């Protein structure tokens, strides 16, 4: 799914009305019905509790007023507050004119901070003050309304389209924003939803489909995408031909593990094999030989001359993809051995963990990496590699520019992992959960991406698919268990189900 900026979203709204021959009121009515359906589908929704709607005078407010109407028509007790309601938009006025009989609905204006109501009964707050039309930080009475709503800890808060005060495309420094429990976002997710520093403000978010014009969406030029199921399904064909053999699916090399960290090598190897690679060789220190043979019998083992860690300048020719770094440690000679790999292969390298830390100490090596290599840092490793950032928007810009400059994929791990590509596009993953923040989760990702890269499907497909499948396997693994009990082997054990759910193959 494309992620559009403020201007593009407005344009798509307008084009939708033209293409579908509907008025702006009809489009808003469609949005209002979809918002209502979504709220009514929440199992926690209690029609016997009051709903407090705070509406601004723009179209976001119009959505809130329309929602108030549908809830009141159902018999829900609704209290509607108009906040500094001057010069309402035409659609906002239309919604107001069509409010039902006032039996279940009260209306009140808030024109100064003292007008904020006492919400002494537990209920649901709907935030419809400002939406994607916000163009500056909230001030005055709106600010005090936002601050008062944020103190209502016993009431659940749903923001319509975007938490009021948040800009859809950028960070407004020190701006006051509604802290939503849930954001029901209209049409497309907004770019700012992918800034980790705003995560607590947005809460959980759900995209409300209002059947925007496909033709208009198609025409919008963007470099930002949300990596969801329909998108990834169209990205590759993993079905196997009848006469295919293990040679068809590539030969991967994984260089991982050291004394005390052989688990990283095992986790990566098992995930690599579960991702469909034809042949796998694991290069490990001597101490790791029996461990790998017993733990991962499907893998061949190449043994380093060093007892405890990766040290030997090995022959890396003949492989289709190489993953390196999980648990390789930092001992004497590791840097030279890593540089030897970098300089003696043309296949994309998947670099993780200690390989990234070594890279951080040798910034000039970035330019030496084979084109289309893949860096998989978590934020701490990203900082060591590329320095600290001013805010998340600046961090994402930097990530994107570095990918273009060095011809690399950068997979910045976290909630909604961001994947920047050499072509300048950036993808935000839709799968995964906090249970995956556990030891070895990154090692499994290295294994998956390396295994997919080896199958010659194109590096970009392998990276996007790998990140998506890794998260989906985590989502399947956590079903029926607590996130806190999850271990990274659970991810590996659900890879088969994740591939099947995505590609039916």
Binding residues for AMP, as ranges, are 413-417, 442
Size of the site for ligand NAX (CB under 6 A): 25
- The CA distance from 406 to 414, in Å, is 22
**Residue 134 binds to ligand NAX (criterion: CB under 6 A):** yes
DSSP class per residue in 296-337? -TTSEEEE-SSSSS--S----TT-SEEEE-TT----TTHHHH
Using CB under 5 A, list all residues that contact K ion.
Answer: 127, 131, 159-160, 164
- Of 58-66, 239-247, 262-270, 307-315: span binding ligand NAX (CB under 6 A): 58-66
Among 50, 56, 323, 432, binds ligand NAX (CB under 6 A): 56
Q: Evaluate whether 121 touches 51 at the Cβ level (below 8 Å).
A: no
**Residue 451 binds to ligand NAX (criterion: CB under 6 A):** no
Question: Using CB under 6 A, which residues numbered 76 to 115 contact ligand NAX?
Answer: 89
495-503 and 459-478 helices, crossing angle to 10°? 120
Give bridge partners of residue 207 from the DSSP assignment: 185
Annotated binding site for K(+): 60, 127, 164
| DSSP-based three-state secondary structure for 272 | helix
CB of 29 to ligand NAX, least distance (A): 9
- Of 57-65, 234-242, 382-390, 443-451: span binding ligand NAX (CB under 6 A): 57-65
| DSSP-based three-state secondary structure for 128 | strand
With CB cut-offs between 5 and 8 Å by kind, which of ligand NAX, K ion, none does residue 159 bind? K ion
**Residue 161 binds to ligand NAX (criterion: CB under 6 A):** yes
Other Cβ atoms closer than 10 A to 294: 9
Other Cβ atoms closer than 10 A to 500: 12
**Sign of the CA dihedral with 321 first, then 325, 326, and 329 last:** positive
CB of 200 to ligand NAX, least distance (A): 21
**Residue 133 binds to ligand NAX (criterion: CB under 6 A):** yes
- Of 137-145, 247-255, 300-308, 368-376: span binding ligand NAX (CB under 6 A): 137-145
Among 53, 160, 280, 412, binds ligand NAX (CB under 6 A): 160
CB of 142 to K ion, least distance (A): 11
- The CA distance from 28 to 168, in Å, is 19
| DSSP-based three-state secondary structure for 255 | strand
Annotated binding site for (6S)-NADPHX: 59-63, 131-137, 161, 264, 327, 378, 443
């Amino acid at each position: 799914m494309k992620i559009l900026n403020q201007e593009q979203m407005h344009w798509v709204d307008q084009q939708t009305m033209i293409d579908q021959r509907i008025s702006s009121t009809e489009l808003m009515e469609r949005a209002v019905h979809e918002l209502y359906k979504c709220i009514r589908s929440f199992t926690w929704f209690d029609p016997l509790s009051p709903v407090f709607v705070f509406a601004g005078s723009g179209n976001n407010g119009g959505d809130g007023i329309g929602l108030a109407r549908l809830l009141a028509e159902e018999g829900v007790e609704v209290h509607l507050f108009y906040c500094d309601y001057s010069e309402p938009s035409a659609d906002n006025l239309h919604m107001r004119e069509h409010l039902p009989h006032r039996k279940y609905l009260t209306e009140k204006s808030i024109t100064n901070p003292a007008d904020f109501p006492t919400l002494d009964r537990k209920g649901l707050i709907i935030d419809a003050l400002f939406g994607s039309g916000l163009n500056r930080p909230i001030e005055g009475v709106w600010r005090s309304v936002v601050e008062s709503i944020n103190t209502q800890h016993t009431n659940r808060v749903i923001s319509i389209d975007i938490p009021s005060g948040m800009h859809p495309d950028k960070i407004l420094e020190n701006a006051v924003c509604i802290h939503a429990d849930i954001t029901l976002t209209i049409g497309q997710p907004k770019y700012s939803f992918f800034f980790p520093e705003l995560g607590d403000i947005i809460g959980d978010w759900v995209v409300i489909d209002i059947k925007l014009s496909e033709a208009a969406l198609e025409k919008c030029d963007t470099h930002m995408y949300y990596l969801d199921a329909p998108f990834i399904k169209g990205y590759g064909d993993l079905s196997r031909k009848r006469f295919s053999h293990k040679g068809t699916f590539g030969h991967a090399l994984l260089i991982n593990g050291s004394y005390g960290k052989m688990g990283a090598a095992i986790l990566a190897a098992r995930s690599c094999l579960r991702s469909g690679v034809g042949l796998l060789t694991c290069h490990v220190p001597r101490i790791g030989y029996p461990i790998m043979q017993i733990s991962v019998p499907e893998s061949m083992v190449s043994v380093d001359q060093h007892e405890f860690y990766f040290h030997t300048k090995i022959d890396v020719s003949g492989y289709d993809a190489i993953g390196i770094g999980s648990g390789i440690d930092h001992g004497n000679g590791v840097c030279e051995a890593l540089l030897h790999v970098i300089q003696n292969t043309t296949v994309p390298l998947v670099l993780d963990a200690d390989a990234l830390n070594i890279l951080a100490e040798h910034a000039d090596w970035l330019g030496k990496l084979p084109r289309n290599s893949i860096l998989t840092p978590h934020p701490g490793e990203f900082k060591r590699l590329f320095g600290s950032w001013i805010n998340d928007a600046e961090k994402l810009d930097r990530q994107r520019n570095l990918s273009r400059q060095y011809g690399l994929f950068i997979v910045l791990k976290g909630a909604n992992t961001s994947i920047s590509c050499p072509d300048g596009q950036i993808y935000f993953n839709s799968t995964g959960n906090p249970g995956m923040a556990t030891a070895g989760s990154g090692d499994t990702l290295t294994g998956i991406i390396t295994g997919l890269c080896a199958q010659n499907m194109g590096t970009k497909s392998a990276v996007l698919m790998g990140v998506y499948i890794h998260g989906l396997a985590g989502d399947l693994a956590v079903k029926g268990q607590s996130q806190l009990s999850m271990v990274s082997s659970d991810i590996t054990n659900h890879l088969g189900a994740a591939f099947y759910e995505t590609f039916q193959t």
